[in-house]
């Protein structure tokens, strides 16, 4: 089981990030559209601003399981 404890809300500079990969899509699902990303998966091309304060708890992401199927 993987979790989304490193989920981050992108505040500024989303255009400087690569698109979401399959890990983010499976872990975050619809939360991607709300500006959430996995910090460990980001490829950053220039300055961004993000927050991780209680994001996982607020979005109830910490217990989502990722299936390998």
Query: 57: part of which helix (H) or strand (E)?
Result: helix 55-59
Mind listing the pLDDT tens digit for each residue in 7-20?
899 999 999 999 99
Mind listing the pLDDT tens digit for each residue in 10-67?
999 999 999 999 999 999 988 899 899 998 999 999 999 998 866 555 656 555 544 4
Give the separation between CA 22 and CA 31, rounded to whole angstroms. Answer: 14
Query: 7: part of which helix (H) or strand (E)?
Result: strand 7-12
Q: Where are the domains of the chain?
A: 7-59
End-to-end CA distance of the chain: 13
């Amino acid at each position: 089981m993987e979790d989304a404890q490193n989920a981050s809300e992108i505040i500024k500079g989303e255009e400087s990030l690569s698109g979401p990969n399959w890990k983010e899509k499976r872990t975050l699902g619809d939360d991607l559209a709300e500006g959430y990303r996995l910090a460990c998966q980001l490829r950053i091309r220039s300055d961004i601003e993000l927050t991780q304060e209680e994001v996982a708890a607020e979005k109830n992401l910490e217990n989502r399981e990722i299936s390998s199927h």
